[in-house]
Amino acid sequence: MRALAASLGLSPTTVQAAYNGLRRKGIVGGAGRAGTRIAARPPLPVPSAPAPEGVRDLASGNPDVRLLPPIASGLRGVARRHRLYGEPADREDLLASFARELRADEIEVSALTIVSGALDGVERVLQAHLRPGDAVAVEDPAYSGVLDLVRALGLTVRPVGIDDEGLLPNQLRRALEAGVSAVVVTPRAQNPTGAALTQSRVRELRRVLGRHRETLVIEDDHAGPVAGAPPCSVVAENRPRWSVIRSMSKSLGPDLRAAVLAGDTTTVARVEGRRMVGAGWVSGILQAVVAQLRDDPATGRLLREAERTYTRRRAGLVAALAAHGIPAHGRSGLNVWVPVPEESRVVQGLLTLGWAVRAGERYRVASPPAVRITTAALDTDEAVRLAADLASVLEPHPRRTSTA
């Protein structure tokens, strides 16, 4: 700043004030010793083109529609009257249902509200506590939507490495010591790697977070009952600022934009207050459908079957790849993460052989190249063929036609 002030013929105080103004508006963000960077706000849209005709789509990240409960059964619970201004924003029966579920999973229930999906909840909690320029610790690799959201809010992404058990404690400790204001954690079904927290990793992370009690902690449990891993939480009792968000998008369907947001009373009150002057509430019709589906015993049976099926399909691809000497990650969730030397060559090579997979570039900050393969609807015989095709693509001279 002194050098810039000298070159412009201005006082350092004036230059400092200009930087502060840009930071408050979210135009620039601090990056520690790396200096100040132009913020990616808002991020440029990256359209997802549908897979070409005749190509197997393993890039979308969607659940298997055959394992989603029928919408018609949820519509039976929709009220026959109009909902008007001034009525309660959240259905009491839906909140009570979520409260029982969270308590059974040993997650604190200080306050609850309903939001429009997991990312909506993450955004509202970040806005409730942070300001442009603040740093957020994010898994690396991480869901691209979270990375885009953090940048769109004018916040700074601080990547923290992960393994199959989630955030690496030593890297999280360094991020906290560097002064991050918030941490976003995926407890299970981590997208894109499938990482899932274990109890031993939870204890380690709680010890690290315990030394930074004022840091905001957000857990994004977007897959819930179909994750294929037991629920865990890094939020210790009596933490001042925290939120756990559990979405229905993978279990009941992506179009059912409803999620429960649990948190400390201040965080939930701020989320509700901000929502009141914007969207107002999550549609009562939508909440009624979710409540009806969650209460239906048939839904519970289907979700248990979905969890078993997703686990079998995910493990099937990991095993098929291992048979070709290809390491892969997929401890939980709907995706498998496969490290590769060069993403574009692998994506294009598989596309030539009839498979559409997602390049890992949009999920990574500092982690090495990989591709994400959605296994939600991938049958066993397909997994065997896909593994063979991927092995051929990774060879120095891959074949040009598939035997599928």
pLDDT digits (tens, 9 = 90+) for 169-189: 999 999 999 999 999 999 999
Report pLDDT digits (tens) over 69-97. Answer: 998 887 876 777 788 888 899 999 999 99
Query: Cα-flanking dihedrals φ and ψ of residue 391, to 5°?
Result: -60, -40
Cis peptide before 42 (omega within 30 of 0): yes
pLDDT higher than 70, residue 26: no
Among 192, 223, 196, smallest CA distance to 339 is for: 192
Q: Residue 335 in 3-state DSSP?
A: strand
Question: Element (H or E) spanning 157, and its range?
Answer: strand 156-163
Nearest to 185 by CA among 133, 103, 105, 245: 245
CB 78 within 8 A of CB 288: yes
Whether the predicted pLDDT of 403 surpasses 90: no
- Strands 216-221 and 242-247, sheet pairing: parallel
- Residue 280 to residue 329: CA distance in whole angstroms: 40
Amino acid identity, position 228? G
**DSSP code string of 233-284:** ----TT-SSEEEEEE-TTTT-TT---EEEEE-HHHHHHHHHHHHTTT-S--H
Kindly state the average pLDDT of the residues 312-322: 98
Model confidence at 401: pLDDT above 90: no
Tell me what pLDDT residue 24 has. 59
Cα gap 85→202, rounded to integer Å = 43
Q: Which tokens hold the place of 287? A: 């909440």
Mode of pairing for the β-strands spanning 166-167 and 56-57 = unpaired
Sign of the alpha-carbon dihedral angle for 91, 96, 101, 106: positive
pTM of the model: 0.86
Contacts of residue 8, Cβ cutoff 8 Å, sequence gap at least 6: 15
The candidate with the shortest Cα–Cα distance to 254, out of 116, 370, 394, is: 116
The pLDDT of residue 404: 45
Euclidean distance between CA atoms 270 and 260, whole angstroms: 15
The pLDDT of residue 53 is 86
Confidence of residue 16 (pLDDT cuts 50, 70, 90): confident
Q: Summarize pLDDT for 323-349 with one digit per residue, the tens.
A: 999 999 999 999 999 999 999 999 999
Taking the C-alpha atoms of residue 327 and residue 340, their distance in angstroms, rounded to an integer, is: 9
For the segment 198-211, the average pLDDT, to the nearest whole number, is: 97
Which amino acid is it at 299?
Answer: T
- State the pairing for strand pair 335-339/259-263: unpaired
In angstroms, what CA-CA distances link 261 with 159, 249, 296? 24, 14, 22
Residue 43 has pLDDT above 60, yes or no: no
DSSP-based three-state secondary structure for 142: coil
Structural domains of the chain, ranges and CATH numbers in brackets:
2-38 (no CATH), 56-64+299-394 (3.90.1150.10), 71-296 (3.40.640.10)
Could you give the CA distance from residue 319 to residue 326 in angstroms, rounded to a whole number?
A: 9
Report H helices in 178-255.
Answer: 199-210
d(CA 369, CA 157): 19
Span 381-391, mean pLDDT? 97
